[in-house]
Structure 1
Amino acid sequence: MAQFTLNSTVNDVENYFGNAGRLLFPVDRPFNPNETLAQISNSAHYIWYSNIKTNKTVEVLNYLAAEQKKHQIFYPIYSEDEIAAHPSRANTGLYFFRVKEGAPFAINNAGGGFAYVAAMQDSFPHALEISKYGYNAFALIYRPTNPYEDLAQAICFIEDHATELGVNPRHYSLWGGSAGARMAAELGNKEVLYQLTGRSDIPQADAVIMQYTGFSRVSSADAPTYVSVGNNDWIANWRTMKQRLFYLEQLGIPTEFHVYSGLSHGFGLGEGTVAEGWINDAINFWEVNMHN
């Protein structure tokens, strides 16, 4: 029986999950605890996002509710001492969409213009879909003021707790939309990864999966990169994204590019649009480069 419906409130959800529920909704934007899931599923709450699907929000929450009965679903990435030193680190952590033990993993990073974390629209749905393909998936809740530090910390945490989490520490991908895509691209770069983690034992991501961002830096240390974007995106120009992949290809780095007619910024999984199913291509791209 479903735990949550369209009429469940933010307060209902947070109370059900307890400590694991505090970061399900953005802490950097005002959400009325008495609003329903249907009432918050719009671009007034999740600014810069389109194609928001309330049914997917309900599906994600019911999945996590079922998982919480069997497994831990939320993991802090900083220790108590580290949080005491910088209290804002309490607003970080990983939601785990767990599948079979020993499978590779993906880290999903939502966008939000480095002003808030739009996880319910831009990383939770992706993590859930990735798990359906048999891969472990995490959704990172990061601080908009310290996004790269938090993603580096998350990568280290998963690598150091791979046995406990039941994931393959040698194979992973980094996913992101908008601001989150910038995070994925930066930490997908081998040199930046080592610089921000201070560790040479962590492998580079097999692939970076990016949606709708104007990130343009190119380096021979970048990871294989997949891109999807709409041609009606007034925030991230599709030509900028395509040009970056052209230069990556010139460096011998595998790429794949998809532009979707009429879509604007923040279309997420693209359900019910011309982009529906793009995640199948992205996972295939990861798999090919994982084996390479």
Structure 2
Amino acid sequence: MPQFTENSTIGDVKKYFGGDAGRLLFPVDRPFEDTETLSQITNSGHYLWYSDLNVSTTVALVNSLAKQQAVRPIFYHIYSEQEIGQHPSRRNTGIYLFSGQPHAPFTINNAGGGFYYVAGMQDSFPHAMEISKRGYNAFTLIYRPETPYEDLAQAIQFIEDHAEELQVDPHHYSLWGGSAGARMAAELGNLDVLRSLTGRDDIPQADAVIMQYTGYGKVSPADAPTYVNVGTSDWIADWRGMKQRLFYLDKIGIPTEFHLYNGLQHGYGLGIGTEAEGWINDAIAFWERQI
């Protein structure tokens, strides 16, 4: 098993994981070259709209997946080969698993990217890696920017229907996301939307929705308990709008929690080295209170 470093190239990583598991680690809708190193791509020029990127996190998560792949699969297509044949773009979707304790609850982490690309290395993979360290099973969804809600609905169904194989608790899960991914989490965290998009009533509603920096403002009695964090200097998602949504959720009796970080911009991810560092512990604790 290789030990990846900041000087490892995208091509090195893709070759090691192989096939779609290697290819989809990096955005397919952005110009990432196989000759570029992990250090060279960890910046806001490659991951548009993101700040406070950390190459040590990128290296750690690739090594974490490599260690897991030696024991069990890390990647699963959410559509069958027949379904992919009907719509070939579905091959650009799938879920990566950062495994926790067998049969523990799970998360689905949805990266942002403005519904233009999927910024997984900054906005979902790091979160999933940290969540798995706490014993939970954490999935990251690679979705098509043109059909994000359809793909998340499919991912939820796939995990529920393959819970035994994936070794997860099908009764308890949370939906996480930043920016565009947070909108996805909020939409599918709503029980009415979940049933509408899956066409099923046997899938439980998410225990909680964990959202970062987004402009989502819908409020419904069918929404899930919601945790939010955002920075005061976010030029895309105004923190006041996010706080106002929670005010209305509170009024209809839905549990919420809100955190605001001074000076942080859009897309700070885990917030390592910033005022927000450690927020993921608060979010996990919020989820645990809803289980």
What amino acid does structure 1 have at the position aligned with 2:119?
A
Q: Aligned with 1:128: secondary structure? A: helix
Residue of structure 2 in register with 1:15 after alignment = 15
Q: Aligned with 1:57: secondary structure? A: helix
**Structural mapping, 1:114-263, within 5 Å:** 114-263=115-264
Asked if the contact 2:100–2:134 (Cα under 8 Å) also holds between the matched residues in 1, the reply is no
Offset from partner CA, 1:112-165 (integer Å, 9 cap, x none):
000000000000000000001110000000000000000000000000000010
Q: Aligned with 1:259: secondary structure? A: strand
Q: Aligned with 2:169: secondary structure? A: strand
**Which aligned segments of 4 or more residues in structure 1 are displaced greater than 3 angstroms?**
none
Using the alignment, how far apart are the partners of 1:42 and 1:201 within structure 2? 42
Using the alignment, how far apart are the partners of 1:93 and 1:239 within structure 2? 34
What amino acid does structure 2 have at the position aligned with 1:18?
G
Residue of structure 1 in register with 2:54 after alignment = 53
Asked if the contact 2:178–2:267 (Cα under 8 Å) also holds between the matched residues in 1, the reply is yes
Residue of structure 2 in register with 1:35 after alignment = 36
Using the alignment, how far apart are the partners of 1:192 and 1:11 within structure 2? 39
Using the alignment, how far apart are the partners of 1:83 and 1:111 within structure 2? 24
Using the alignment, how far apart are the partners of 1:21 and 1:3 within structure 2? 16
Query: Runs of 5+ in structure 1 lacking a partner?
Result: none
Using the alignment, how far apart are the partners of 2:266 and 2:59 within structure 1? 22
Residue of structure 2 in register with 1:282 after alignment = 283
Using the alignment, how far apart are the partners of 1:107 and 1:99 within structure 2? 13
Residue of structure 2 in register with 1:68 after alignment = 69
Q: Aligned with 2:170: secondary structure? A: strand
Residue of structure 2 in register with 1:111 after alignment = 112
Residue of structure 2 in register with 1:81 after alignment = 82
What amino acid does structure 2 have at the position aligned with 1:6?
E
Using the alignment, how far apart are the partners of 1:8 and 1:276 within structure 2? 26
Using the alignment, how far apart are the partners of 2:197 and 2:61 within structure 1? 31
Q: Aligned with 2:25: secondary structure? A: coil
Cα distance, 1:101 vs structure 2: 1.0
Cα distance, 1:2 vs structure 2: 5.8
Cα distance, 1:32 vs structure 2: 1.2
Using the alignment, how far apart are the partners of 1:153 and 1:2 within structure 2? 33
Cα distance, 1:102 vs structure 2: 1.0
Aligned length: 290
Q: Aligned with 2:105: secondary structure? A: strand
Q: Aligned with 1:266: secondary structure? A: coil
TM-score, normalization by structure 2: 0.99
Cα distance, 1:103 vs structure 2: 0.1
Query: Runs of 5+ in structure 2 lacking a partner?
Result: none
Q: CA RMSD in A?
A: 0.7
Using the alignment, how far apart are the partners of 1:180 and 1:173 within structure 2? 13
Q: Aligned with 2:18: secondary structure? A: helix
Asked if the contact 2:189–2:224 (Cα under 8 Å) also holds between the matched residues in 1, the reply is yes
Offset from partner CA, 1:53-78 (integer Å, 9 cap, x none):
00000000001011111100000000
Offset from partner CA, 1:262-288 (integer Å, 9 cap, x none):
000000000000000000000000000
Q: Aligned with 1:222: secondary structure? A: coil
Identity across the alignment (%): 72
Residue of structure 2 in register with 1:6 after alignment = 6
TM-score, normalization by structure 1: 0.99
